[in-house]
Amino acid sequence: MPDVQALVNDFVLKLKRRKIEGSHASAQHTAELLRSVISHQRMPYTNQAGALIDAVKAVGEQLIAANPVELAVGNIVRRVLHIIREEDLSSTATAIEGLGLSAGSDDDDEGQHEDRPALSAAALAAAARSTLRAPSLQTLLEDIPDSAAAPQPPSSGGDSEGKSKSDKNIRSRKLKHDVIEAINELIQDIDTCHEQISEQAVEHIHQNEVILTLGRSRTVKEFLCAAKEKNRSFRVFVAEGAPRYQGHVLAKELVSKGIQTTVITDSAVFAMISRVNMVIVGAHAIMANGGVIAPVGINMVALAAQRHAVPFVVVAGSHKLCPLYPHNPEVLLNDLKCPSDLLDFGEFSDCMDFGSHGGSPLLHVVNPAFDYVPPKLVSLFITDTGGHNPSYMYRLIADYYSADDLVVKRRSTS
Amino acid sequence: MDVRRGQRTVIDPKVRQVGFVPAGATRPPARSHSVPTDACSSSPPAPELPLSGSSLSPVMIPPPRHSSADGLPSLSRSAASPVPIPASPLRRDTVQIPIGSYNPSESVLGSSPMISPSSRLDAVSEFSDEVPTSAWLGRSGSGKFASSFPSSSGEMMTMKITGGGSGGGGNTPKSSLTTASVVKALPGVSEKDRGALIEVQNEGISKPQKQKTSKAERRAIQEAQRAAKAAAKEAGDQFVLCEAVKPSASSGGALPASKQGKVVKPSSQKKDGPQVTAPVVPSEKKVGDRIPDKDRKKDVPHPRMQFDDKHRVEKAKRRAVVNQSEARNRVELFRHLPQYIHGTQLPDLESKFFQLDPMHPSVYKVGLQYLSGVISGGNARCIAMLLAFQEAIKDYSTPPEKALVRDLTAKISSYVSFLIECRPLSISMGNAIKFLKNRIAKLPHTLSESEAKSSLQSDIDRFINEKIVIADKVIVGHAVTKIRDGDILLTYGSSSVVEMILLYAHELGKQFRVVLVDSRPKLEGQALLHRLVAKGLNCTYTHINAISYVMQEVTRVFLGASSVLSNGTVYSRVGTACVAMVANAFQIPVLICCEAYKFHERVQLDSICSNELGDPDVISKVAGRNDLNHLESWADNENLQLLNLIYDATPSDYVSMIITDYGMIPPTSVPVIVREYRREHLWI
């Protein structure tokens, strides 16, 4: 599958060069890429889910390494893995009945056949549990292997081989097909999450509200526009969001929808927040502890909002939900951008002289891309599944990811 | 990234260094201190006596220098100079005013406090939005200042004496001085009986010399009478609002002097001891005892002009020298502030250069520099303005038939209103103008024009030198003690005094790194960055949004301020509040560096009620980013407004310490400085 590898390499390169940025774009690209990886994956006769998972993990590992800060990539890889597991589970469930029937007829294989359904059922139960909740002591004790399909012995009795072969052929097609179907749904979800989020806008924005936002987020834009379409009239303060100044774009978009918009400098956030009823911002990623990785500057806004007891609302699609717990996220989950956003190289070339001061330059320019907002500063998350508290995020994450995938790394044994 | 973490542990940034460590050698030597509360409440000897030689620790707020200088002598010697002269040597040699000779003019001042509650409003408004109408407003303003300071007995006493001079016709015996000093009063002390006594005594006195013929003189007397009448009214019902005083004052004027004297009495009286002498100096007493409630009223700053008040805006427009066109998309929330299309004034002004007859060229030049933003920053603007006024005063000559005091005050006021049209005054400028007007009002009439002018010029020089240049040096000396090796200091924008601190600390060989935070649209930090890097300081530059990121490694935050208000709020370049807030969240000490002449008695809770709006156009354009043209035609869309705030208010709980020329104080002590020392700025 050289063509797939080329696609992967291409995407990895784009991620590395930050050609693809923004969680929405990268999530979508990742899902599409994984879909083509899966569709090109040659399916073995046995342990098909395992093979798929391995393939996805191999690609996912590269993608995540390409830009570890772009958490949406990892999220989508995990989502796809989760999808594979689920589809496999459901196909196993249908297969169990068939196997149960054949077990009765073949006497010599009785022992094996007895064995299999029992094991599968246990796996099924365990897998079902694991999809619904985070790993528990029970699942650990039951020692259920990685994938539900994995424990199946490589081959069953000789005489049943032909039968099971044809059976598996159908199943393999079906599994792949189902997985691709599910990924398509995922892609669609990513695309339409804005609509589902913005449907909730009227519940949160009332007449004459004053809303503050920083920078530009498509979700925020849709959210505000949706409220405007419902004939709510309100006022929006947009902080420009240095160094990208996407606030200008947002302001233009909002004005074209007829929303009263005032553009302020980032430094005026504290001055204005006392007159604001609600802060609505987008996010780069939502961590499992309820913390938010957001465009730089938002922590400042959150602190100001807290000071003035203004609700701080984060709107984000579920593809931004990251199952990881952050450690030192301000540094480890951050990107330092080009200094030229802040300083003109031409003007400051004399200051950036490495030679004259013992090799270390006097001037450093810090231009981080993200801020980490701790969960205590967030009042509410609005995702496509509704509004949630920061403390509930870990639970929401269990719905989307299976606990086995938190670390996307191919097992060395396989 | 790991490096950053490592550095931080070395310095242990989480320890708040808010303590008030004595600054030792760097402190100006001669200052003495007293406990502020004493100064406010107790009788004069208590605060004054302990102050002489004690070394001050920065926590203690030293009393006004002059009070220690004159207060003591006046208490002890009857011959002490009645003119309150601050201890500073500069002042000494420049403004030696003969004691006896200037009585007439002083008398005006002395009596004027009576009307000050109302007149003061006018006086203040002179430089906020109103063209001053007459010189006596200024004078009365000055009078009120004196009377508003119960703590500094020395000055007060002298005021009283002069007041007595007016009442008694300038022939008050010298001996009264001693007694007057004792008069320092607790307001509530048995007023009734004393009042009666005084009344009797007053009967005999009365009649200031009507024979003096000069216009100014007559006016002075008239004013004294008005004041007396006002006092009478006040006496009628103890706590008349200052508004009530005004009408009565305006109607009065032709009162018989004897009546005036009588009326005065009930309100006066403070002390049993001084009573004996009271007959000699009735009006002086009156001044003294009215201080408490009048003082309270005076402390309320005059309301600013609200630009959503159509009527007043119209009025102001008619007077305006500069044509300004209103901005089209005004921000609703800031209707009360002037919102003009920036840049429209400049060509208009230029074309008017030869028609602006009364405008002195140097003032005109400074106005243009404000307008174009060439001069910015509280100190720079203040100094530029004062120097321009100095020029103007140098070239000033009193027109015939006019008194220098009044005419010059009017002139200065017209200059000020011109400057306001160019750019709203900063609080530092307001204080400087108050000072200057006060000096003009206090000019003795006996001075010749050239003497008066040179006296004013040297006053201005002294103000710049003492209040800004030397104050900065003191602040630098204090602040440097807070910088340790290995520190990472954060500063925001470009503050002149913070720059001096950093450079001085670098000169001392301290090893530290500077984090410079900057923000659009002015990007003042870049210029500062250039200067610091050129001097070899290790700098990190970033924008304000990244503040949470850089704050992790910072150990101290040094910020400048445009003003410190008396509730401890720091009024400063927009964004300062954000920086202080984030520093507070990271538990990093925030040190505000601000000269005491920028303190103001106003209070403010948010950044909305009073602020300045900059040119909104600069927001739509980002320097060096030609791709960002989304807001190009913003003015065409009525739904879109751009807001360029200039200042914001940092709540006092984010501030660990304010470093000022009086030492290092907590924000809670700002009102102490404002109240106890305000007089000093005005009275130098």
Query: Mean pLDDT over residues A290-297, rounded?
Result: 93
Query: Mean pLDDT over residues B539-548, rounded?
Result: 93
What lies within 8 Å, CB to CB, of B15 at 6+ separation is: none
Residue A92 or residue B587, greater confidence: B587
| C-alpha to C-alpha distance for B551 and B572, rounded to whole angstroms | 20
User: Roughly how many angstroms between the first and final C-alpha of chain B, as a whole number?
Assistant: 53
Sketch out chain A's domains with CATH numbers: 194-405 (3.40.50.10470)
Please identify which residue in the block is written with the tokens 């899966």.
A38
What pLDDT band is residue A345 in, cutting at 50, 70 and 90?
A: confident
Query: Mean pLDDT over residues A73-78, rounded?
Result: 92
Q: Does residue B474 contact residue B661 with C-beta atoms inside 8 Å?
A: yes
- Strand ranges inside A307-383, DSSP E: 312-315, 363-365, 370-373, 380-383
What lies within 8 Å, CB to CB, of B9 at 6+ separation is: none
Question: Cα–chain-centroid distance for residue B23?
Answer: 26
- Residue ranges matching CATH 3.40.50.10470 in chain B: 482-611+646-680
| C-alpha to C-alpha distance for A217 and A197, rounded to whole angstroms | 13
Residue A51 has a pLDDT of 87
Residue of B nearest to A274 (CA): B606
| C-alpha to C-alpha distance for B579 and B654, rounded to whole angstroms | 9
Classify residue A143 as exposed, middle or buried by CB count within 10 Å of its CB (0-12, 13-18, 19+): exposed
Three-state SS at B466: helix
Residue A27 has a pLDDT of 92
| C-alpha to C-alpha distance for A81 and A89, rounded to whole angstroms | 12
Instruction: Measure CB to CB from residue B533 to each of A251, A300, A351 and give the nearest one.
Output: A351
Residue of B nearest to A258 (CA): B639
The verdict on B502 touching A (C-beta cutoff 8 Å) is no
| C-alpha to C-alpha distance for B322 and B349, rounded to whole angstroms | 6
Q: Is the pLDDT of residue B282 over 70?
A: no
Residue B499 has a pLDDT of 94
Q: Is the pLDDT of residue B339 over 80?
A: no
Residue B190 has a pLDDT of 46
Q: Select from B573, B375, B437, B405 the least CA-distant residue to B128.
A: B437
| C-alpha to C-alpha distance for B517 and B520, rounded to whole angstroms | 11
Note the pTM of the prediction, 2 decimals: 0.70
| C-alpha to C-alpha distance for A316 and A393, rounded to whole angstroms | 12
Contact A330 B544 (CB under 8 A): no
Contact B333 A364 (CB under 8 A): no
CB pairs under 8 A between A and B: 185
Contact B611 A271 (CB under 8 A): yes
Average pLDDT, chain A: 81
State the ipTM, two decimals. Answer: 0.83
What pLDDT band is residue B543 in, cutting at 50, 70 and 90?
A: very high
Question: Cα–chain-centroid distance for residue B187?
Answer: 26
Residue of A nearest to B332 (CA): A262
| CA–CA distances in Å: residue B672 to residues B375, B443, B666 | 31, 29, 11
Contact B533 A266 (CB under 8 A): no
What lies within 8 Å, CB to CB, of A63 at 6+ separation is: A8, A11, A12, A15, A30, A33, A73, A74, A77
The tokens for A12 are 């990895």
| C-alpha to C-alpha distance for B577 and B340, rounded to whole angstroms | 26
**What's the alpha-carbon Rg for chain A, to the nearest Å?**
25
| C-alpha to C-alpha distance for A242 and B536, rounded to whole angstroms | 28
What pLDDT band is residue B221 in, cutting at 50, 70 and 90?
A: low
| C-alpha to C-alpha distance for B617 and B630, rounded to whole angstroms | 12
Q: Give the model confidence (pLDDT) of B427-477 as tens digits.
A: 889 889 988 888 888 888 888 888 888 999 999 999 999 889 999 999 999
What pLDDT band is residue A200 in, cutting at 50, 70 and 90?
A: very high
- Quote the DSSP letter at residue A159: G
Element housing A256 (H / E): helix A246-256
| C-alpha to C-alpha distance for B246 and B237, rounded to whole angstroms | 15
- Quote the DSSP letter at residue B568: S
| CA–CA distances in Å: residue B638 to residues A260, B616, B635 | 8, 14, 7
The verdict on B53 touching A (C-beta cutoff 8 Å) is no
| C-alpha to C-alpha distance for B602 and B611, rounded to whole angstroms | 13
What pLDDT band is residue A237 in, cutting at 50, 70 and 90?
A: very high
What pLDDT band is residue A172 in, cutting at 50, 70 and 90?
A: low
What lies within 8 Å, CB to CB, of A72 at 6+ separation is: A23, A24, A26, A27, A30, A285, A319, A320
- Quote the DSSP letter at residue B368: H
Instruction: Measure CB to CB from residue B550 to each of A242, A344, A366 and give the nearest one.
Output: A366
Which segment of A2-11, B40-49, B360-369, B602-611 scores lowest on mean pLDDT? B40-49
Q: Does residue A201 contact residue A384 with C-beta atoms inside 8 Å?
A: no
- Residue ranges matching CATH 1.20.120 in chain B: 310-466
Q: Give the model confidence (pLDDT) of B30-80 as tens digits.
A: 444 443 434 334 444 444 444 444 444 444 444 444 444 444 444 444 444
What pLDDT band is residue B283 in, cutting at 50, 70 and 90?
A: very low
Element housing B274 (H / E): helix B272-275
DSSP helix, strand, coil percent of chain A (3-state; round to 5): 55, 10, 30
Q: Give the model confidence (pLDDT) of B353-379 as tens digits.
A: 666 566 788 888 888 888 888 888 889
Contact B519 A299 (CB under 8 A): no
Q: Does residue A52 contact residue A40 with C-beta atoms inside 8 Å?
A: no
How far is B536 from chain A, CA to nearest CA, in Å?
7
- CATH number assigned to the domain with residue range B482-611+646-680, chosen from the 4 options 3.40.50.10470, 3.40.50.880, 3.30.1130.10, 3.50.50.100: 3.40.50.10470
- Measured between beta carbons, which residues in chain A are less than 8 angstroms from residue B628? 245, 248
Q: Is the pLDDT of residue B656 over 60?
A: yes
Average pLDDT, chain B: 68
Which segment of A137-141, B293-297, B325-329, B407-411 scores lowest on mean pLDDT? B293-297
Contact A275 B333 (CB under 8 A): yes
Q: Select from B403, B490, B418 the least CA-distant residue to B452.
A: B403
| C-alpha to C-alpha distance for B211 and B87, rounded to whole angstroms | 37
Q: Is the pLDDT of residue B189 over 50?
A: no
Contact B550 A367 (CB under 8 A): no
Contact A255 B640 (CB under 8 A): yes
Q: DSSP per residue over B73-104, as a string?
A: HHHH-TTS-SS---S-HHHHHH----TTTTHH
Residue percentage of chain A with pLDDT more than 90 = 47
| C-alpha to C-alpha distance for B340 and B323, rounded to whole angstroms | 10
Residue of B nearest to A348 (CA): B530
The tokens for B271 are 């002390």
Contact A249 B630 (CB under 8 A): yes
Q: Is the pLDDT of residue A197 over 70?
A: yes
Residue percentage of chain B with pLDDT more than 70 = 51
The tokens for B682 are 């005005």
The verdict on A252 touching B (C-beta cutoff 8 Å) is yes
- Strand ranges inside B411-508, DSSP E: 487-492
Which segment of A30-44, A143-157, A339-353, B656-670 scores lowest on mean pLDDT? A143-157
How far is B385 from chain A, CA to nearest CA, in Å?
28
Return phi, psi of residue B393, to 5°.
-65, -35
The tokens for B294 are 């009048």
Q: Select from A158, A145, A136 the least CA-distant residue to A50.
A: A145
Please identify which residue in the block is written with the tokens 């020298």.
B321
Q: Is the pLDDT of residue A122 over 80?
A: no
Residue B311 has a pLDDT of 80
Q: Does residue B64 contact residue B36 with C-beta atoms inside 8 Å?
A: no
Contact B581 A307 (CB under 8 A): yes
CATH architecture observed for domain B310-466: Up-down Bundle (1.20)
Q: Does residue B448 contact residue B398 with C-beta atoms inside 8 Å?
A: no
